[in-house]
Structure 1
Amino acid sequence: MDAAGARSPSSSSTTQQQQKGPRACATCARAKSRCIPGPVGGGKCERCHRLDKTCSSQTPAPPRKRKEPKPTRVAELEKRLEDLSARIESVQRPPLPPQQNGQVQAQAPTPPEYAELHHDYSPVQSTASPEDSRPTTNADIDDDDLSLWPEEPEASHLLAEYKAHLGHLFPFAAVPPHMSSAQLRRQKPLFWKAVMMEACHLDGPRQIALGNELLRDIADATITKPDKSLDLLQGLQILISWFHYNLNSFQMTNLLFLARSICSCLGFTESQSATKQKEHSSACLEEMRAFAGTYYLVTVTFTTNKKPDALMNTSYLEACCFVLESKMEYPTDEILVWLVRAQQLTQQISWTLALRSYSLQPATSHGNPPLMIVVSKFREQLKTFRQTLPPHLRDNRTCSSLSPSDLAIQTNINKASLVGHLHVAEILLYEIGLSPHQRQEHEGRSSANNNNTLSHTDQLECLWACMHATKAFFTNRFTHDVRGYPRFICMSSFDFIYAFLIALRLVTFRCDGWDLGLVRKELAFEQYVDRQVSDLKYLAKRRSRRTRRRRRRGRRESTGEGGTVSASEGRKGVIMVMRGERKRRR
């Protein structure tokens, strides 16, 4: 059969094959000419018929070999996790000796020493049961019972460490001294999870995993599975105060207003009549602490951000402070009251100066007193506040009257936050000197608008006072070595960043009579920057040290070297990695 006949549609299968292959004949293809069908029945194309040449079909080219799809990073990770789970299962399945009644007795885990909790988790020597030796599945990852939360006796040691070294830094959510970890977990599961999350502050990856898990639980308790309880508010407060470094500004603002809404839903502001009672139960005092804690977190965040419209009303707060100070159920209630009062004064300064700004309230000769009178008034209030402080809270030095007990150490550490808040209040007050529009001779305004301006002498006075307040803040911040226990909650970084930015403005601000060389020498800003950098490097290394040790131990155990670890512990590591990968993909 000739070429034209071969190309004619003899059957449906032949037509499909010709459509897939080359349509031009071999002669036209070599000449790179267009191949047009010739006369019907001629068996040749038009060109081959005209030139009297042989018309034959082309040999189809062999099909191209398709490239195999490259495995994705997620697929590789899943394969590695499956291999790791299989290794753990094979290592943790020793030959079972004959037992009576077919039961397998598991060796009790060795409880870790308390000192090791602050440095590294001790290896758990246990033999896995057949139930713990099954491979990890997706159901395990989503199961709350097989989550990352610590079990006994580790949970009890973590709670003891929180009570001894961390709880006093945020006294608004106190754990009763007599309450055990099991009791706290049963009565207040979200609060217990928040405490466990913070107690793992030296294990960075684990704390991040626990914090993300707690954030998801709080979201469920507020939206999908609503649970209006004090436990929800306390867990949220601990999450905000200690985990804010892993939250963006949008999440932080939403969580703060969520805490305010929970206070409203719990009826705290409507229970002002309870403050007039002579007897107050422990539950009532706990609610007052929670409301004061919400106010504290909101003011720490929004005062230095110059957002007075986001601040809370303090009418009910005054009654709470009075009752807590009079009852003094816990020793930390004293510092709680003074922390709230310091934030009230800071809020008043921020609110007053914001109202005097041009965007909120125009200055008139009759509406506002001169600005320096306002500054002098708040200066006297700060002085009076310091004088009314108890002797052991007036500065950041240990009072000689205190005994060297844990409570004295906690009070000394805790008052560093109080002293820092007072320095921030001073910086907020004297920051008005940094405005280049304060000098009257540069404003060109009428005398009716001079109440919101400073003279050149007053501006230099405010600048110098602001510089001293900023230096005092950094001195208080870096008094003790970072190698000890934390001295501030993570939320204090708002005050630190604010003071840091003010220091940058002070060493770069240009004004007649403002000697930048003298200011930089007096402030020594570069030394504080170097200290902060070294502290951050040390903390990053310290928080990852425990993880590296656990990874090395896990590799030895997965290859059959060293001791054994339970399959539940192995699944925890697998769950952490897979959840981290899921978060990265999102």
Structure 2
Amino acid sequence: MASSPPPNTTPAPYGRACANCSHAKSKCFQLAAGTGCERCQRLKKTCRPSTTVRKRNGRASTSKTAQLEAKLDSLMSLLLRDEPSTDTPGLSRLALPTTVPQVPQSQESGSSRTAYSEGIPTPPATIALGGSPRALDTLCSSIPISPENAEQMLSFFRTESIKNLPFAYIPSYMTSQQLRQEKPFFWLSIMAVTSPHCLQRESINLKLADFIHQKILIDFAPSMDILLGMMTFFSWATYSGRHQQILYPHVIMGLVCDLGINKPIPTEPSTMQAFKCAVGFKQNTPTSRTMEERRAVLGCYLITASIALTTSKIDALRWTPHMEESLSVLTNARECPEDERLVTLVKLSLVMDKAYHLQRDGDGHHAPYFYIKAFQSQLNLVKDSIPGSLRNDDSILFHIATTELVIHEIAMRAPSTPNTPDLQRLDSLYTSLQAAKTWLDLWLSQRPTEYMAFPYTIFGQLSRALVSLYRLSVLDDPAWDRNFVRTTANLLEYLNRMTYGMKMSTTHLAVPHQSEWNVFEKASTMFQCIREGWEPKLMEAWFPSPQSGAFDDTLNASNPPMLDETLPMNGLDDLWMMDVFGSL
């Protein structure tokens, strides 16, 4: 039975209860004197009218597309109003620089919709990010780099670093500020890997790594900016953990596949694109493949093929007919000087990848020397096609020597014939010896600044050259002269010279009172530890005692760790040292 209203009161109309009664879900009785409601007066509360929203029964839009676009515009407005996340350590809330152009809301929402489409190239002047651009701009603003230093670091990357892995073209007239506006994540990655100060570089790398893990992999849509930045950070960063050698290659391969730049532009929509069209999403189909996209996909192949060859834990990005087309287009277009170098490096990498897969997967139908001859013929064709301006280029020579090592490793793994010397095998072993010697001599001829410009691909090749020379030095084959190896390419002498060279280079990145953070100090320690780990086996192979039995030509797996893993790992060693040499 309903209770009767208090005297001298009137029940409030529907939807007109005061804020207190509405919050308490209690009936509201307005006093006749007009001074509020009976409940608020009894409880001695301030009676405030509730906020009402008038329900509008407007005409429903006849266009589903218009409704979806309106919702997307609303979502983008909310994203743009949101404050940047404070999850990333060390980031400060900074205002947007006045030099960064603001994109109108309608354009921003449109770019966010098209960024999710498969295979759509990012226009150079558009930041097509799915996450909040303010979060990325805040991170860029938090990096303590002056405009003058930023220009110097960009110049170093453009003239020294990128020539070793030319997956992008940065025109000489482009300034650091222009690159930051057009591709902020790419710019940030360049700043992270070229900072000349050890502690500053470590700080930037940590911030960028946190941002990648917390934001890029979750909130941001695939774009060329993100792809180029990830390729740069992984290939040159002096901050990385062991697991990231496997994580980052898969990330950049995923970005390539999501952008669709490894395959032709589709003539008809995919199943997902057709579904998006059916529910009202606009699909902007690209009409042509850009040169930027062609370089990026070939660069991704170079990076992943190098990781596959060094770690044997992943496969390279699958080579497709469209990538072959991109290789041909870059060969003929010659839009920039680095395209010829990129084409040559990719051709060499293709030969290496084939030889690697043969060794890994095996084939018992043909003799190993049949494949060695075939791969060597392919390598000779690539060498003949190298332009004259690149025949003495260090990055090309590094890759040629490594390709020969990979090809002729097949002979090192083949069983020896004790009674009759296998001349083909001996020829391959000699070729491997000369290739390892060529590679290491080339390494010792580099300046300290060139060491800092080397990407992961070169460091992986260094590990192969050292390991190959070690195997040749201790190879137990009656027909193989280990003393000849010692006099031709003495591994201990190479390690001594590398140790000395790194010590002489320590002043290049000296950090007061913290020498352990100097990349050259740690590289020197690394080479010295490798020497100490390998010297006993080498001395036993070169100067065997009468009591020594047959020598095991495998790498010694019982050696103690060559570096204290508590040492702060940044620099030449942290990307490849522990995985490649840590178990020897």
**How far is 1:468 from its partner?**
1.2
Query: Secondary structure of the equivalent of 1:174?
Result: coil
Note the residue ranges of structure 2 that are not aligned, 5 or more in a row.
1-136, 268-285, 516-569, 571-584
Partner of 1:341: 347
SS at match of 2:503: helix
Q: Which residue of 2 aligns with 1:506?
A: 472
Matched with 2:283 is none
Query: Is 1:220 paired with 2:214?
Result: yes
| 1:465 to 1:156, Cα distance in 2 relative to 1, 3 A | closer
Aligned to 1:379: 376
1:197 is matched with 192
- Deviation of 1:309 (Å): 3.9
Per-residue displacement from partner, 1:127-164 (whole Å, max 9, x unpaired)? xxxxxxxxxxxxxxx97376234132332333233333
Distance 1:429 1:177 in 2: 38
Cα distance in 1 between the residues matched to 2:320 and 2:398: 21
C-alpha separation in 1, matches of 2:193 and 2:226 = 16
Q: Secondary structure at the match of 2:243?
A: helix
How big is each residue's C-alpha offset from its partner over 1:388-433, in whole Å with a ceiling of 9 and x where there is no partner? 2112222x3xxxxxxxxxxxxxxxxxx2122111111111121233
The Cα of 1:347 is off from its aligned counterpart by: 0.8
Q: Deviations over 1:500-556 (max 9, x none)?
A: 11111111111102221121111122232122212333444422348989xxxxxxx
Summarize the alignment of residues 16-95 of structure 1 with structure 2, pairs less than 5 Å apart.
Answer: none
Q: Following the alignment from structure 2 to structure 1, what is the Cα–Cα distance between the partners of residues 451 and 417?
A: 49
1:390 aligns with 2:387: yes
Q: Percent identical across equivalent pairs?
A: 22
Of 460, 468, 479, which residue of structure 2 is paired with 1:494?
A: 460
Q: Which runs of 4+ in 1 moved over 6 A?
A: 280-283, 546-549
Counterpart-to-counterpart distance in 2, 1:145 and 1:259 = 21
The superposition leaves residues 36-83 of structure 1 with CA deviations (integer Å, 9 ceiling, x where unpaired) of xxxxxxxxxxxxxxxxxxxxxxxxxxxxxxxxxxxxxxxxxxxxxxxx
Residue aligning to 1:206: 200
Distance 1:341 1:391, change over 3 A: same
- Tell me the equivalent position of 2:567: none
Seen in structure 2, the aligned counterparts of structure 1 residues 149 and 326 have a Cα distance that, compared at 3 Å, is: farther
Specify the alignment match of 2:242 in structure 1: 249
Give the structure-2-normalised TM-score. Answer: 0.57
Contact 1:292 1:317 in 2 (8 A): yes
Does 2:432 correspond to 1:466?
yes
For 2:260, give the aligned amino acid: G
Residue 170 of structure 1 pairs with residue 176 of structure 2:
no
| SS at structure 2 position matched to 1:249 | coil
Are 1:265 and 2:242 matched, yes or no?
A: no
| Distance in structure 2 (CA, Å) of the matches to 1:168 and 1:336 | 8
Aligned partners of 1:425 and 1:484: how far apart in 2? 21
Instruction: Note closer, same or farther for the CA distance 1:524–1:469 as it changes in structure 2 (3 Å cut).
Output: same
Q: Which amino acid aligns with 1:249?
A: R
- The CA distance in 1 between the partners of 2:317 and 2:260, in whole Å, is 19
Letter in 2 for 1:508: V
Tell me what 2:497 maps to: 531
- Cα RMSD after superposing both structures: 3.1
1:514 alignment partner, SS class: coil
CA distance in 1, matches of 2:429, 2:477: 10
What secondary structure does 1:381 align onto?
helix
One-letter amino acid of the structure 2 residue matched with residue 506 of structure 1: L
Query: Does residue 406 of structure 2 align to residue 428 of structure 1?
Result: yes
Distance 1:546 1:180 in 2: 32
Instruction: Tell me which amino acid in the other structure corresponds to 2:156.
Output: E
Opposite residue 346 of structure 1, the aligned amino acid is M
Distance in 2 (CA, whole Å) between partners of 1:323 and 1:546 is: 50
TM norm structure 1? 0.57
> Which stretch shifts more, 424-433 or 535-544?
535-544
> Which of 213, 225, 231 pairs up with 2:225?
231
Distance 1:315 1:304, change over 3 A: farther
Q: Residue in 2 aligned with 1:32?
A: none
Match of 1:185 among 180, 183, 191: 180
| Mapped partners of 1:458, 1:488: distance in 2 | 35
User: What per-residue deviation string (whole Å, max 9, x for no partner) do you get for residues 357-391 of structure 1?
Assistant: xxxx5x2xxxx222222211222222222122112
Task: Report deviation, 1:343.
Answer: 0.5
CA contact (8 A) 1:165 1:485 kept: no
**Pair 170,247 (structure 1): closer, same or farther in 2 beyond 3 Å:** same
Q: What residue number does 1:480 align with?
A: 446
- Paired residues of 1:221 and 1:227 also in contact (CA < 8 A): no
Relative to structure 1, is the Cα distance of residues 493 and 145 closer, same or farther in structure 2, using a 3 angstrom cutoff?
closer
Rounded to whole Å, the distance in 2 between the matches of 1:188 and 1:282 is 21
CA separation of 1:546 and 1:165: change in aligned 2, threshold 3 A: farther
1:456 matched to 2:462? The reply is: no
Alpha carbons of structure 1 residues 308 and 211: separation in structure 2 relative to 1, 3 Å = closer
Letter in 2 for 1:312: R
Structure 1 portions without partners, runs of 5+: 1-141, 275-279, 397-414, 443-453, 550-579, 581-586
CA distance in 2, matches of 1:546, 1:164: 29
- Please state whether the residue corresponding to 1:260 is helix, strand or coil: helix
Match of 1:323 in 2: 329
For 2:199 and 2:505, how far apart are their aligned partners in 1?
A: 13
Distance 1:542 1:428 in 2: 33
